[in-house]
Amino acid sequence: MGIFSRLAQLIKSNLNDLISRSEDPEKMLNQILLDMNSQLVEAKKQVATSIADEKHLAKQFEQESAKAADWERKAMMALRAGNEGLAKEALARKREHDEIAATFKDQWAKQKASVDQLKKALRLLSEKIEEAGRKKNVLIARKKRAEAQKSIQETMSGLRDQSAFETFDRMAQKIDQIEAEAEAQTELAEEYTGDQLASQFAQLEKSHSADDDLMALKRKMGLAPAEEAKPPAENVQARVEAPAATTPQSEQDELAAALEEMEAEQVQEEKRKAGR
């Protein structure tokens, strides 16, 4: 095989592969259907022309038959007048028109049979095109379903890749680390810049609330004695009002204790700084 033949074969194979990969089934089916409809339009024009020819032949047959009948009438008129020579000439003309009429009749019959066949073929073509249109819709639906399934399978194949899950877990751990660092920074900021006394009281309230919840659960389970009955409202009011007079002294004691605690923390902080 010569080099030019091999080169031509290589070019053809590459072109065929490019065309095959470029073909879109949906577009190709639409184009085929358009071409078939165009052929149907042309076929209808041809059938219409054939029908027109058939009608023209039938009309010519009728005209020649009428002329032959007219010459026969004239021959009969000549015979009645006693003119046989004129009657013979009229009969000769009648014979000519009969022959022409017979020719037209034969052509008309053949044309009519041809038109009937063309009509039948046109109906079959129209039915084929309608069937192709229905098949086209089914094929396009199958194509789209297959593409959707292919896309889903490709997505699932990507999800089955272990590296994707490992990356997901690594990102989750990284986010956990960032959250832990943020919480640590917040805790340090509250410890060194916030109101420590308020923080201690908040912790005390949380601990007291937890103890109350635990005691309530024990009482519910029968592991602790039931809560004592509340005293009458008058006694409660009296007990509430009684310490009212001593409240200022307790507040002063709490403030003094808080100031001493803050001074102690400041002294410790200064020692730490001096040690550095």
Higher local confidence (pLDDT), 244 or 36 = 36
Angle at 24 between CA 19 and CA 27, to 5 degrees: 120
Contact yes or no for 61/111 (Cβ under 8 A): no
Residue 240 has pLDDT above 50, yes or no: no
**Burial class for 133, CB neighbours closer than 10 Å (0-12, 13-18, 19+):** middle
Domain map of the chain by residue range?
Answer: 25-160
Give pLDDT tens digits for 163-196.
666 777 888 888 988 988 888 887 777 666 555 5
Rounded Cα distance, 62 and 45, in Å: 26
Chain-centre distance for alpha carbon 147 = 11
Around Cβ 165, how many Cβ atoms within 10 Å? Answer: 11
Question: Does the model's pTM come out above 0.75?
Answer: no
Of 187, 190, 169, nearest in space to 179 by CA: 187
Rounded Cα distance, 40 and 31, in Å: 14
Find the mean pLDDT for residues 209-223: 74
Higher local confidence (pLDDT), 6 or 131 = 131
Rounded Cα distance, 264 and 270, in Å: 10
Q: Which of 78-82, 108-112, 200-204 has the lowest mean pLDDT?
A: 200-204
Higher local confidence (pLDDT), 38 or 11 = 38
Residue 241's pLDDT band (cuts 50, 70, 90) = very low
